[in-house]
Amino acid sequence: MTPDLNYRSALPGLTWPAFPAPGAANKLALLFQIEQNQWRTAQQIEAAQFEQVRKLFAFAARTVPLYREQLGGRFPAADISPQSWCEIPVLTRKALHALPSAIRSEQIPKEHGQNFPISTSGSTGMVVELLGTDLTRLFWQVFCLRDHLWHRRDLRQTLCTIRYHRDPAIKGPAGVSAPGWGPATDDIALTGGSFNYHITLPVDDLAERLRVDRPGYLLSHPSVIMGLAQHCLAHRIALPQLKEVRTLGETPDDSLRDLCRAAWGVPVVDMYTCQEAGYLALQCPEHPHYHVQAENALVEVVDDAGRPCGPGEVGRVLVTSLNNFATPLIRYELGDYAEVGAPCPCGRGLPVLKRIMGRYRNLLTLPDGTRSWPRLGYETSLQSIAPIELMQMIQTAAEKIRVRLVMERALDTAETERLTAFIQKNLGYPFRLSFDYVDTIRNPSNAKLEQFISLIEPQGRPG
C-alpha cells in the first residue's frame, strides 16, 4: 500500500512492525497473493483462473439443483477449458429472478463462514436474490484494498461518500460520520475519518458539507459528481484538500474527467462492481481503461452469437464468480455491455476492458432499425441552455423520445427550442420530443441514473 501507511497492530506495545489481527492477516495474505499474480502473463492468469473454475463447476454440478439438472454429466469438470467454456449455458437474470432457490447450494461449505442474503435490482427493476458468505465478503474487502493500493491513496485523509443508504439516519442533512473508512481498511490501518451522505440531498447542501468536511477523497455516482463539480465551479467553491474523485455505479466519460479537473484539479478513478459478484474491474493506475479482477471473477465479453469479443469489439458481459459457493453464478449475464481492450502497457497480465458501455436498453434505435449507443456528451452544456439539474431520455417509439427533466421551473419557449435542437443534434435524428417535469429520475432502489432508456422491445435477446 502507500509507503507511509500506518498499519494497525493487534498487540499492545508493538507498532513496528505491526502485528495484524487474524482477520486483517487473512486480508493482507490474500492481497499479497493477488498483487503477485497481476504480473504473471495473461496465459498464466487464465490457466490459474480455469483451475479454480473447474473446482467451482464440479461443486455446482454436484450441489446446486439447477446446475445438477443442466450440467450433470454433460460437461465433466475435468474437461472444462477456455476453448470449451462457451458451450456452457448462460444464466440469465430472468432465470436467477425466477429460480433463486434452485441456484443455491444444498451443501454450503462450513469453512466459508456464515451466509447472508443479497438482493439487487440493478437498473432493470428485476429483483434477484442470492446468498453471500463471510468468504465473499472477505474477497470484496481485499479487492477494495487493491484499489487503494493501485492508486496510492493516503488513508490518513478524510473520505466522503455520497450514496444511496437504507439507514434513515444518513438521510438527514448532517449525514453520519465514522472514525474510519470502513470494514475493508479499519482493521488493517490507522485511517482518517469518513462522512457519509445520502444521494438525494440537494446539491448546494452537499457542496457546503464538502467545503466544511474538507475530504481528501470523494466517492459517488458520476451524475452526482457532475452536479457537484458544476455547482462548485459556478459558485467558486474550492476543495483544496481533495486529491481524487472515485466513481461507481454509472459510467464516467471524458467530459466528467475534464469537469473535475476544471473544478477541483483532481483525477477521476472509476470502478466496475456489482452486488452479485463484487469487484469486476478496477481502473488501471496508469491508464483510463479497466483491468478485470481475474482472481475474483471470470468476466467474458461475447457477441450476440456467444463468441468471445476481441480488442475493440463491444459485447455482452458474462460473469462467473469464483469464490461464491453459496449461490454459484456460472456465465451469469449481468445485463451490461463492454468493449474489450488491448493488453495494457503497464505490464499487468490481467484482462482489459476499454469501456463499460451500459445496458442493452440504453441503446438508441433509429427509424431505419439501426441501433447504437447514443451520444450523451451534453452534461457540461445543459446549464448553458437552461437551469437543468438532471435529464433523462426515454425512447417510446421509433421516432418519439420523452425527455424527463429535474429542474425548479419549466422551460420557456426559447429554452425548449434550444434544448430540442441540442438533443436532436446529439442523437443524430429529428426525433419528436415531449417534456416531463419530475422530482427525481433516479432508480428508487439504488439511486442510479440512466441517461437514456429505450422501451422498444429488442429482437432475439435473452431475458
**pTM of the predicted model as reported, rounded to 2 decimal places:** 0.87
- 126-147 b/e with 16+ CB inside 10 Å = b? eebbbbbbebbbbbbbbbbbbb
- Considering the segment(s) 23-153+243-354 as one domain, its CATH architecture is 3-Layer(aba) Sandwich (3.40)
Q: Cα-Cα-Cα-Cα dihedral of 50, 51, 57, 62, to 10°?
A: 170
Write the CA distances from 371 to 223, 355, 362, 366, integer angstroms. 24, 18, 10, 6
pLDDT of residue 4: 61
pLDDT of residue 361: 77
pLDDT of residue 463: 40
* CA separation for the pair 51, 289 (Å, rounded): 27
C-alpha cell at 383: 446549464
* CA separation for the pair 137, 354 (Å, rounded): 27
SS3 track for the chain? CCCCCCECCCCCCCECCECCCHHHHHHHHHHHHHHHHCCCCHHHHHHHHHHHHHHHHHHHHHHCHHHHHHCCCCCCHHHCCCCCHHHCCCECHHHHHHCCHHHCCCCCCHHHCCEEEEEECCCCCCCEEEEEEHHHHHHHHHHHHHHHHHCCCCCCCCEEEEECCCCHHHHCCCCEEECCCCHHHHCCECCCCEEEEECCCCHHHHHHHHHHHCCCEEEECHHHHHHHHHHHHHHCCCCCCCCEEEECCCCCCHHHHHHHHHHHCCCEEEEEEECCCEEEEEECCCCCCEEECCCCEEEEEECCCCCECCCCCEEEEEEEECCCCCCCCCCEEEEEEEEECCCCCCCCCCCEEEEEEEEHHHCEECCCCCEECCCCCCCCCHHHHCCCCEEEEEEEECCEEEEEEECCCCCCHHHHHHHHHHHHHHHCCCCEEEEEECCCCCCCCCCCCCCEEECCCCCCCCC
pLDDT of residue 380: 55
Q: Tell me the average confidence (pLDDT) per consecutive run of 10 residues in the chain, 463 residues long.
A: 73 91 95 97 97 96 93 84 93 89 95 93 70 97 97 96 81 88 95 92 91 96 88 93 94 87 96 95 97 98 94 95 97 93 97 88 85 67 83 92 92 94 90 93 73 75 43
Beta strand pairing call for 364-365 and 371-372: antiparallel
* CA separation for the pair 316, 336 (Å, rounded): 6
- The structural domains of the chain, with segments of one domain joined by +, span 23-153+243-354, 363-454
Say whether domain 363-454 belongs to CATH 3.30.300: yes
Closest CA to 230 of 428, 407, 384, 396: 384
Q: Are 46 and 56 in contact (CB under 8 A)?
A: no
pLDDT of residue 56: 96
pLDDT of residue 462: 41
